[in-house]
Structure 1
Amino acid sequence: MNYRGRFAPSPTGLLHAGSLAAAVGSWLCARHASGQWLVRVEDIDPPREVAGSAEAILAALPAFGLEADSTVIYQSSRIAAYDAAFEQLQRAGQVFPCWCSRSDLATANGLHRDGHCIAPADPDRPPAWRMRVPDEEIRFIDGLQGPQGQLLRDVVGDFVIRRVEGFYSYQLACVVDDAWQGITEVVRGSDLLDSTPRQIWLQRCLRLPTPRYLHLPLVLDSQGRKLSKSERSRKIDPAHPMPSLRHALSFLGITPDENARHPAALLDAALAHFDPHHLPQCSDHRVP
Structure 2
Amino acid sequence: MTARGGGSRHDPAKSIGILMLPSMLTVGAMCFGLTGVKFAADHRVDIAIAMVVSAAILDGLDGRIARLLKASTKIGAELDSLADAINFGVTPALILYFTRLGTSPAGWIVALLFVVAMVLRLARFNTLADDPTAPPYTRDFFVGVPAPAGALLVMAPLAAGQQFGHGWWSAPLAVGVWTMVVAALTVSRIPTSSFKTMTVQPRKAAGVLVAVGALTALLLTYPFVALLVISAAYLAHIPFAWRSKRWVDARPAAWDTKPAERRAMRRQQRLPVRPRRAVP
- TM class by shorter chain equals under 0.3
Larger radius of gyration: 2
Name the TM-score, length of structure 1 as normaliser: 0.24
Between structures 1 and 2, the one with greater helix share: 2
Between structures 1 and 2, the one with greater strand share: 1
